[in-house]
Amino acid sequence: MEEYYFPEEPRYFETSVSSDCHFVVKGDFLIFYSQFIAPSMKLVSKRLGYLQERSEKAGNKLPEPMVIKFPESVFVGENWHENFLETMEKMKNLSINQLHANPYIHLSLLDYQDGSSFTVWIISEDEIYIIPQVRASVASMTRILAYIFEKIREGDMIQYVPSEAT
């Protein structure tokens, strides 16, 4: 068995990553891989796995809302309604019908790529509810979630818990 000697040199890397995931690495690629690529792959796998699992469990049940929970209040301030709507209107291949916009947001979304449709509710400062309609694909939901995470803010997908009627 051969033994390899690696001299103890300072390990570093410099990198630049564009918004469409093109990157350039100068220096120790293994550090870049372990600190950036591997954690990113785990995050993507977790999110896609969550959506796929929901799709497989769906069967003939009524659709269950997706809930995005942000670590801090996002929907606050005087113009948050307009800012959110302007951002969402910039998403390609998506039609938005605004049903209500003050004091909460209620939207209907139609994805032109595959005909999927969703209802969106923002009724608190730190959550978005996305409710799949009659036709809604995992691919479309993934596109919408990715857009929200990129353009609005990163958040966590949490389990929807219906409120108890009193």
pLDDT tens, residue by residue, 50-83: 767 766 666 556 667 899 999 999 999 889 999 9
- Residue 117 CA to residue 119 CA, distance in Å, equals 7
Predicted local distance difference test score (pLDDT) of residue 28: 78
> 10 falls in which pLDDT band (50, 70, 90)?
low
Q: Is residue 1 scored above 70 in pLDDT?
A: no
Q: Higher-confidence residue: 3 or 123?
A: 123
User: 83: which residues sit within 8 A by CB, 6+ positions away?
Assistant: none
Predicted local distance difference test score (pLDDT) of residue 7: 53
> 161 falls in which pLDDT band (50, 70, 90)?
confident
- Where in the chain are all domains bearing CATH 3.30.160? 63-166
User: 143: which residues sit within 8 A by CB, 6+ positions away?
Assistant: 111, 113
pLDDT in tens, 82-139: 999 999 999 999 999 998 888 889 999 999 999 999 999 999 999 999 999 888 888 9
Predicted local distance difference test score (pLDDT) of residue 60: 52
Predicted local distance difference test score (pLDDT) of residue 73: 93
- Domain 63-166: top CATH class: alpha beta
Sign of CA dihedral 140, 148, 88, 78: positive
Q: Higher-confidence residue: 104 or 162?
A: 104
